[in-house]
Amino acid sequence: MTVTDETVRPAEPAPAPVDDRRVSWLVFAGQMFAILGAVLLCFVAQLALIGAAKHARDQERALVDFRVELANATAPVSALTDEGRLLDAGTSVAIIEIPRLRLREVVAEGTSARTLKSGPGHLRNTPLPGQAGISVILGRRAAYGGPFSLLDRLQQGDQIIVTTGQGEHRYMVQGVRHAGDKERPAPKANEGRLLLATADGPMFLPTDVMRVDARLTSEVQTTSGAVPAFAVPDSERLMVGDNSALVPVVLWSLLLAVAAVLIVWVRKRVGRWHAWVIGLPVLGVLGVTLADQAAAMLPNLL
């Protein structure tokens, strides 16, 4: 006789219900992190690619305009205007050429991070190139075209040509200096020197300042309109950022955050493709603009 076990086994417990609200928030957070990653990508693109294109465009325009000023003898020969005011930041004051590096750049007045986005800048409280004393020109090493990225390749005896409203001036490179190297003696009263400065260290990770000294070999020009050191804004000193960009950065960040939330809402309510079509150009423009403003807060020699 066969005995059958008819004991009823308890049913397996049902799976716990999924909290839709929790899943929704996780999806939302994931989408926001994806947008944040896209913004960071815009920042990298701004420094390396878009910034280089901006630099090239600004240089092309500045070269055409400054050549007209040279032809009309209206190019600045001093850091001050005829009324005794400081030249506006970004005013073209010289053209620098370095044959060994195949470099030709228009030099603007001022050395803030914003000004150096368009090319090298002349430190306001130093004489213009060709004049007696030490003329200082700063330039970026990596971002926005990196016009001074190859300064470390210069060798003693290389030639530098600078054209200003007072004519063409020739310099001979004396050497490259890094942090801790001995400084050169100050030039005599009737001598001129050019000092080029940029960031030193790995690209986009500057550790100090690299300098190139060059001695004026052509005729020394008259120095006029000297500007005292205290007249130079803090934002135009070496290896500093422009804190005035903080307010625009905050405003553009808020706009970007609002736009990101709206795009996520469109994706949830309307659909993925609608969100892509609307969000890609909007977030792209906002991201690049925010990156450009944020870059102004980084060291000006970057």
User: For residue 111, what is the domain's CATH number?
Assistant: 2.40.260.10
> Does residue 285 lie within any of the structural domains?
no
pLDDT digits (tens, 9 = 90+) for 119-163: 999 999 999 999 999 999 999 999 999 999 999 999 999 999 999
Region 31-41: mean pLDDT is: 73
Region 226-232: mean pLDDT is: 78
Amino acid at 65: D
What is the domain extent for residue 92? 52-243
Share of residues in the chain with pLDDT > 70 (%): 89
Q: Identify which of 51, 268, 73, 64 has the alpha carbon closest to the alpha carbon of residue 167.
A: 73
Higher confidence at residue 64 or residue 14?
64
- Provide the mean pLDDT of the chain: 87
Buried b (16+ CB within 10 A) or exposed e, 142-161: bbbbbbbbebeebeeebebb
Rg of the chain over Cα atoms, rounded to whole angstroms, equals 29
> Does residue 295 lie within any of the structural domains?
no
> Does residue 130 lie within any of the structural domains?
yes
Region 51-71: mean pLDDT is: 95
Region 27-37: mean pLDDT is: 69
> Does residue 302 lie within any of the structural domains?
no
Query: Total domain count for the chain?
Result: 1
> Does residue 88 lie within any of the structural domains?
yes
**Phi, psi torsion values for 34, nearest 5 degrees:** -65, -40
Separation in Å, CA 230 to CA 93, 124, 227, 237, 298: 21, 10, 8, 11, 22
> Does residue 148 lie within any of the structural domains?
yes
**Phi, psi torsion values for 133, nearest 5 degrees:** 105, -170
